[in-house]
Amino acid sequence: MPRILVVDDDPNSRKIIELMLSSQGYALTFAENGRDAVSKAQAEEPDLILIDVLMPIMNGHEATRHLKADPRTRQIPVVALTALAFESDRQEALSVGCNGYLSKPFTRRELLEAVLGFLPSDAAPDARQALA
C-alpha cells in the first residue's frame, strides 16, 4: 500500500485530501507544518509527499529544501499543493526541488493524476481504476 505524507496547516484542506485519497488504497499520514513534515518523512520514509507551500513554522519550500538535501529523503517525490497559481510560483516550487505542482483548488481527478504520476504503475490499482 503506497504511503503518502500530506502536509498542510489547514485542517479542512487535510480532510479534503483525505476524503479524495483514503478510499483509493493509500496509507495517509499528516503533518501541519514543514518542520513536522521533515521529521515525519525522515522517520517514516513515505512513497510521496504532498506539501502546501504557505505554512507557519516552516513553509513548504524550506521543508522541500531540507528533504532534498537529506540522503534519507531526497529520493521521495514532493508535489507542491498551493493556492499560488502563477507560472513563476510553479517555477519556484520546481527550483527548490519539488517534483510536481498542483494549484488549489484541484479536482479529485487532478489530485489522483498527480499522485499516480509519481508512484509505480502497479501501485494503488483502485486509484488507477477510478481514472479509467
Kindly list the domain boundaries of the chain, sorted by start residue.
3-120
CATH architecture of 3-120: 3-Layer(aba) Sandwich (3.40)
The predicted structure's pLDDT at residue 88? 86
CB neighbours of residue 29 within 10 Å: 16
Q: Identity (one letter) of the amino acid at 36? A: D
The predicted structure's pLDDT at residue 82? 85
User: To the nearest whole number, what is the mean pLDDT of the chain?
Assistant: 91
The predicted structure's pLDDT at residue 1? 85
The predicted structure's pLDDT at residue 127? 61
Distance from C-alpha of 68 to C-alpha of 76, rounded to nearest angstrom: 8
Residue segments in the chain with a per-residue pLDDT below the cut of 70: 121-132
Distance from C-alpha of 56 to C-alpha of 72, rounded to nearest angstrom: 24
User: DSSP strand E in 3-99: where?
Assistant: 3-7, 27-31, 48-52, 78-82
